[in-house]
Chain A
């Protein structure tokens, strides 16, 4: 068989364990992209992953890296502890879903970002709690039916979805904030670039990549319909954008150094 060559294979940064994710779920794509970035940067021996509670609670089974499993919402705090303890050449990333990061872990993500912790947070936003059976998340869209919003998300009672990237972009210290999507090949290729940028900038400060993701099981849709649903419903509210990168800090990010002397 002289003309057969390998054009695609599992990254050596992923173990051979089989993903437990549902068919059509994009966690598997996100895992692969991170593994490829770690592999291509040649930092497998210097990268420590922090895994969340949620569908990706078992991510430690899939990354062939040193891994710490965090409590629900606390991954940025755990990553902070690692970052402040490990040699500077290490890479620390936290992987979190939207219930984990934007609800129970809202405090930890904002303060880790605000301290400018030299970590990367990969944020999978699929607008629902997947692991616990499809409950309403802080990112659930207005009117969207979930097991705890059976009449659709009522914004008068539950407010509107939280836009994490935009919220973090009000802070001074993050160095990279971007939102991508995993719904079609061009977005997946772009998402990998965003992850790579975040890792490359990690030692300069806090880096954050939000990835719009699907939950066919929680949404009650086929995998293909889920991809369309994401683009049709999520992208208009969660625009795909690089919010923060070196040289393109918004006005709010201007460093402020007050004159602390008392006058008068």
Chain B
């Protein structure tokens, strides 16, 4: 307790790290958040993301921040709502079942326009499922995972370095739009060790005149609220939110196009871990003379349609590869709108597809395309 909002982070933080470090993904995510000015972390243990709260519990007290182990994910997200209302940068992390528990609170964050960051290290489902890597929450996350008309930016890193970079972006975007931002990864992103470089520590410069910090006589009271009993008034509020969602859709699309410039026969569509494995497969397939490329979503929402639409005309067919049972492919089909064949292949239950399996799947689709002429 007793965080001094006026104390610059770079004064409070004796930076412990040299520029380039070998770090585990989960710990790098936590350190990146702190260097982005995250002051408070609220979380509940769940595998496979426990390294994030563990790291936070050791590191946040060093920077004048607070770690609270909440009694449940329901409490975590509501503590986040309180801390975000006070105007500080704060976050939680969890894994799939925990996110389901947070869905009500997440809707409140959107409805009340409280900026904050939520990390979901996805695991196998449904139900208790298992703790192995999964992308089975794609639809749940990208549709705004609470009740009501709501959306939120979802960022999907494919490497530890990208996770670090996207954490900083996540805090900036949450404040830019006064809307929570979700970062999705899986157990592989969380557990793998890679060299990372951190950007210099920053302090949020966003003015927060709306924050509930105590009402001085010079201003009216601030109310953080999502209740609008009058239908016309609530409609007006939701339309205001959708004006923001529209700006997010226009301005926050992010994607990587990999080897897609030569009128590819097949473009693999993927994000996160599967996109990373797909790159290995693509190298093998290219050596075999198959023109195959990769469309990698970095923003899972908004769907990066501007980049994707440039591929529809020159590409012969699309293959959505997922660690889920055909979720991303629904968005690909919507975008392609029947103009080209769209196929799906994936593993589920926490099984991580191998590059050999991906090679075989692309070859199979390639034979089919050749046979069809």
Question: Which A residues fall within an 8 A CB radius of B?
Answer: 44-48, 50, 57-58, 60, 63-71, 74, 77-88, 90, 107-108, 110-111, 115, 118
Chain B residues with Cβ below 8 Å from A108 are 71, 74-75, 78
Q: State which of A66, A84, A107, A118 has its C-beta within 8 Å of the C-beta of B83.
A: A84
Q: A85-B90, A86-B213 are in contact. Are A78 and B71 (CB under 8 A)?
A: no
Q: State which of B2, B84, B112, B223 has its C-beta within 8 Å of the C-beta of A88.
A: B2
- What separation, in Å, do the CA atoms of A78 and B221 have in the docked complex? 18
User: Is B5 an interface residue, CB under 8 A from the partner?
Assistant: yes
User: Is B369 an interface residue, CB under 8 A from the partner?
Assistant: no
- What separation, in Å, do the CA atoms of A83 and B213 have in the docked complex? 10
Q: Is the CB of A65 within 8 A of B215?
A: yes
User: Is B217 an interface residue, CB under 8 A from the partner?
Assistant: yes
User: Is B225 an interface residue, CB under 8 A from the partner?
Assistant: yes
- What separation, in Å, do the CA atoms of A47 and B39 have in the docked complex? 21
User: Is B85 an interface residue, CB under 8 A from the partner?
Assistant: yes
Q: Is the CB of B83 within 8 A of A69?
A: no
**9 A-B pairs in the complex with CB atoms less than 8 angstroms apart:** A44-B215, A48-B212, A48-B213, A78-B81, A81-B80, A81-B84, A85-B39, A86-B213, A108-B71
Which are the 4 A-B pairs with shortest beta-carbon distances?
A81-B82, A77-B78, A85-B86, A81-B83
Instruction: Tell me the minimal C-beta distance from A106 to chain B in angstroms.
Output: 10
Chain A residues with Cβ below 8 Å from B212 are 48, 66-68, 82
Q: Is the CB of A68 within 8 A of B1?
A: no
Instruction: Tell me the minimal C-beta distance from A9 to chain B in angstroms.
Output: 18
Instruction: Tell me the minimal C-beta distance from B181 to chain A in angstroms.
Output: 17
- What separation, in Å, do the CA atoms of A110 and B71 have in the docked complex? 9
| Residues of chain B at interface, number, CB under 8 A | 45
Chain B residues with Cβ below 8 Å from A78 are 78-79, 81-82, 85
When each residue 95-120 of chain B gets 1 if its CB lies under 8 Å from chain A and 0 otherwise, what string results? 00000000011001000100000000
Q: Is the CB of A111 within 8 A of B71?
A: yes
- What separation, in Å, do the CA atoms of A108 and B104 have in the docked complex? 15
Chain A residues with Cβ below 8 Å from B87 are 85
Identity of the chain A residue whose Cβ is nearest the Cβ of B87 in the assembled complex: A85
Chain A residues with Cβ below 8 Å from B66 are 84-85
Chain B residues with Cβ below 8 Å from A87 are 2-5
Q: Is the CB of B82 within 8 A of A85?
A: yes
Q: Is the CB of A57 within 8 A of B214?
A: no
- What separation, in Å, do the CA atoms of A84 and B86 have in the docked complex? 9
Q: Is the CB of B78 within 8 A of A74?
A: yes
- What separation, in Å, do the CA atoms of A63 and B222 have in the docked complex? 11
Identity of the chain A residue whose Cβ is nearest the Cβ of B6 in the assembled complex: A87
Interface-central residue, A50, A68, A69, A107, by most chain B CB under 10 Å: A68
User: Is B72 an interface residue, CB under 8 A from the partner?
Assistant: yes
Q: A48-B214, A74-B105 are in contact. Are A67 and B1 (CB under 8 A)?
A: no
Q: Is the CB of B221 within 8 A of A84?
A: no
Q: Is the CB of B82 within 8 A of A82?
A: yes
- What separation, in Å, do the CA atoms of A46 and B40 have in the docked complex? 21
